[in-house]
Amino acid sequence: MNKIIIHWTAGAHTPNAVDKEHYHYLIDSEGRTHEGKYKPEDNENCADGRYAAHTGGGNTGAIGVAMCGMFGFTGSENVGAYPITPVQLEACFHLCAELCKKYKIPVENVWTHYEFGLNHPDTTSHGKIDIIYLPPYPDVKRNEVGGFIRNKIRWYLDKI
């Protein structure tokens, strides 16, 4: 595995069956981690069709971590009924640190889906809005979210 892509599900606060097919790990609003249908290793080779399809144009070698929520999000003025919660976000940072350590993935290779789309404009990930806004940290601008997340992951990595 060579990278982690962080998403939100654009659904409710707990994972549904479809969510579980698309992400390796899902974090609910109470900070609990749920395993998806596929293991990260299933994404080492996506040619067999048995893998978690979470990042168009970038699934191979990529672990998909999703926070459950953000259905109805249309911008910082309207985060919808299922905003990412503080405990959920902390759990995401912690999980990503554990995964970086386990799979020897440098924190520099942890991206939001939004960032991946920006860097790969020829893929279907282009234009994805996860993650352009963190409800617990409303002052973090959309192009700062990825760096903010990586710094938090580094903090956890120092502790484990």
Question: Is the Cβ of residue 121 or residue 155 nearer to Zn ion in the bound state?
Answer: 121
Question: Is the Cβ of residue 127 or residue 138 nearer to Zn ion in the bound state?
Answer: 127
d(CA 115, CA 83): 20
Q: Could you list the residues that contact Zn ion (CB under 5 A)?
A: 7, 113, 130
Q: Tell me how far, at minimum, the Cβ of 11 lies from Zn ion, in Å.
A: 11
Q: Tell me how far, at minimum, the Cβ of 117 lies from Zn ion, in Å.
A: 9
d(CA 42, CA 152): 27
Strands of 25-27's sheet in order across:
33-35, 25-27, 62-67, 3-8, 110-112
Q: Tell me how far, at minimum, the Cβ of 157 lies from Zn ion, in Å.
A: 23
Question: Is the Cβ of residue 32 or residue 126 nearer to Zn ion in the bound state?
Answer: 126
